[in-house]
Amino acid sequence: MSFTEPAGRANTGDYRSPPNKPEPWLTRAATIDNEVAQYFLVSARCGCFMQAARSLNVRSTLLRKQLAQLEQQLQHSLFSFQGSALSLTREGQQLQAKLIALAHERKLPVVEQPLIRLAVAESILHDILGRDLIALLRRNASVRLEIIALDSELSLRAVSADVVLWLAHGETPQPGPTFATSEPQQLARLDYLPHIAKRYSRVTARPETTDDLADFMLVQWQHDRQIDSFRPWNELVEQRLAGVVQMQSYEFMLEMIRCGACIGLLPAYMSRFDRGLSALPGLFEEPMQLQAWLAVNADSQHLPEARMLSDVIHHTFSERQEWFLP
């Protein structure tokens, strides 16, 4: 007696696994190390190994090594490049869905970062420290950092921070932070001179005495009015009956010098920071100086993040020590 299938019904693979049954290799997803699973999910979300490494605060070489070992473990390629764009393969998409489904059971760790507060003199932040801070944040995208610009003695006394970088007159760090700190460290002495944009003044026609300044507009950052060591400059500005601009913004004051044909008081290093600016030495007999000081909050000295920030500041000033020579 023969047995045949009913007409109209083909053998469509009755012995195949049901479509919703996971592929065998996916069952190993639950055994993947939590850290490696996080590396994979963040890389999948970012679509960029470098950005994923920044977010996770790890080296990109370590991240890629761990992901390569994961692919070896699962015997499947999880990522592919389409041009310069990183995307998931079919297996990568399956693993991503599986790990997300397991997330509640796995409780993948999210490491909370402590909030670090940096208080820094506004001019130092703009001229000296800004670029290195940006580089630090590019390397450590998971850092929680609050940056407070100090634009007056009052703001310094009112601030509470983990790391403080401020400017003070004389050989002592006073006035300084009002909270307990580590021993303040002197980083540099800053000399101040009037500056002008080179394009607005020929060398032969640049002012050589304070009387020569009568033909130029002067610009003053309001913060500088509070500084005793700037008395020669401040008195000159106060005597002006015309041709003077006062600014609340340090950055806009710089723009007035660069683009507005003004003369303003700036640190002597500014001609190194901006080649378009030129110092005007010899206008005042009395030197105008400030000292840069660094201290760490006594309660924050044990935090690796505070030490890292302090190290970055030391390195920045060390690299630019030629800027601060008389």
Residue 245 sits at φ, ψ, to 5 deg, of -130, 135
Q: What is the pLDDT of residue 288?
A: 96
Residue 290 sits at φ, ψ, to 5 deg, of -140, 155
- The distance of Cα 121 from the centroid of its chain, to the nearest Å, equals 15
- Is residue 289 a contact partner of residue 229, using CB atoms and an 8 Å limit? yes
- Is residue 163 a contact partner of residue 118, using CB atoms and an 8 Å limit? yes
Of the candidates 224, 199, 191, 205, the residue with the CA atom closest to the CA atom of residue 292: 191
User: CA 271, CA 237: separation in Å to the nearest integer?
Assistant: 22
Which two three-digit tokens encode residue 22? 């996971």
Degrees to nearest 5, angle at CA 146 with 168 and 184 = 30
Q: Which residues contact 15 (CB under 8 A, 6 or more apart)?
A: none
Residue 75 sits at φ, ψ, to 5 deg, of 60, 40
CATH class, domain 119-189+290-324, is alpha beta
Per-position pLDDT tens, the chain of length 326: 333 333 443 443 444 444 455 577 888 888 888 889 889 999 998 888 888 888 887 888 999 999 999 999 999 999 998 777 888 999 999 888 888 888 765 555 556 778 999 999 999 999 999 999 998 888 877 788 999 999 888 889 889 999 999 999 988 999 899 999 999 999 999 999 999 999 887 766 788 899 989 889 999 999 999 899 999 999 999 999 999 999 999 999 999 999 998 999 999 999 999 999 999 999 999 999 999 999 999 999 999 999 999 999 999 999 999 999 87
Domains 24-106 and 119-189+290-324 fall in the same CATH topology:
no
**What is the enclosing helix (H) or strand (E) of 304?**
helix 304-319
Q: What is the pLDDT of residue 190?
A: 96
Which two three-digit tokens encode residue 54? 């920044």
Of the candidates 274, 283, 272, 278, the residue with the CA atom closest to the CA atom of residue 323: 272
User: CA 203, CA 186: separation in Å to the nearest integer?
Assistant: 36
Could you state, in order of their start, the residue ranges of all structural domains in the chain? Answer: 24-106, 119-189+290-324, 192-288
Of the candidates 195, 191, 189, the residue with the CA atom closest to the CA atom of residue 221: 195
Q: What is the pLDDT of residue 319?
A: 95
Tell me which residue has tokens 């999880």. Answer: 78
Fold exhibited by the domain 192-288: D-Maltodextrin-Binding Protein; domain 2 (3.40.190)
- The distance of Cα 180 from the centroid of its chain, to the nearest Å, equals 26
- The distance of Cα 165 from the centroid of its chain, to the nearest Å, equals 15
Quote the DSSP letter at residue 302.
T
Residue 49 sits at φ, ψ, to 5 deg, of -65, -40
Q: What is the pLDDT of residue 8?
A: 41
Q: The domain 24-106 is classified under which CATH number: 3.40.630.10, 1.10.1040.10, 1.50.10.10, 1.10.10.10? A: 1.10.10.10
Q: Is the pTM of this model over 0.85?
A: no
